[in-house]
Amino acid sequence: MIRKLLKILGVILVLLIVGFACLYFVYNEKLPEGQSGPEADALAQKMLNSLNYETYQQTRFLEWSFQGGAHKYKWDKQKAMVEVKWDNYLVQLDLISTKSSLVFKDKERLNENESASIIADALDYFNNDSFWLVAPYKVFDNGTERSIVPLEDGLSGLLVTYASGGSTPGDSYLWVLQPNGFPKSYKMWVKIIPIGGIEATWDDWAIMESGAYLPKTHKLGPLELSMGDVRGYNR
């Protein structure tokens, strides 16, 4: 009986490996080489202008959720503080001094030793989940490298590499833009996805109370990522 079970598990494992190898062969794309310099920076600025970047900059509060609503956020950009909620945890995350963050479990405040790993989790969640909300506004962040990549339709794509900072430095994103610079999608070369060039849409936008553009959903093939009840406001 055990031998038969092991044989079945072995067959399943082989099928999974073969299936992944096929997917990798069909869908994996090499990270393209782009041309850095003033033209790349100008294209990045064109994207920001199309999104009315100044309005986003002046928006104080952002609210959204991720992971099917499992992670909930309220970000006070002015104070660099984020309220992060998941499971039975609430973290008042200080983005300037993370050690000053406060952690509550079932509404009871945890001590410093108990809080350390939870704060680290909250920061990782925020870094990932906020990127899906505000990635277009981060193309000039410290540690970014920008370059222009020619696309098949004759337009130029904007390749942004995050050489430092965040939870996964080295990740790269190739923005596909409309002729006016407004983002449509990006292709990803990221550590958490072994297949390079997976495309995610950025074409489902809403205008917030503050006037800022923020996305409501993204699609990765058959999958849809909801940003929950997205808000951007100043009061």
Q: Rounded to the nearest 10 degrees, how much is the dihedral formed by the CA atoms of 53, 54, 56, 61?
A: 160
Cβ neighbour number for residue 198 with a 10 Å cutoff: 17
Q: What angle do CA 192, 198, 199 make, to 5 degrees?
A: 125
As a CATH number, domain 29-233 is 2.50.20
pLDDT, position 164 = 82
Residues with Cβ within 8 Å of residue 5, at least 6 apart in sequence:
none
Residue-range domain boundaries for the chain = 29-233
Ramachandran bin of 221, using left for φ above 0, alpha for ψ from -120 to 50, beta for the remaining angles: left
Which of 131, 22, 140 has the alpha carbon at shortest distance from 73? Answer: 131
Distance CA 187, CA 129 (A): 17
Q: How far is CA 29 from CA 67, 158, 214, 220, 229, in A?
A: 26, 16, 28, 15, 34
Q: How far is CA 171 from CA 54, 108, 131, in A?
A: 26, 37, 12
Q: What is the pLDDT along the chain (235 residues), one digit of tens a residue?
A: 555 444 444 434 433 333 333 334 445 799 999 999 999 999 999 999 999 999 999 999 999 999 999 999 999 999 999 999 999 999 999 999 999 999 999 999 999 999 999 999 999 999 999 999 999 999 999 999 999 999 988 899 999 999 987 777 899 999 999 999 999 999 999 999 999 999 999 999 999 999 999 999 999 999 999 999 999 999 8
Q: Which amino acid is at 40?
A: A
Say whether pTM exceeds 0.75.
yes
Q: What are phi and psi of 156, to 5 degrees?
A: -110, 135
Tokens of 44: 């990045």
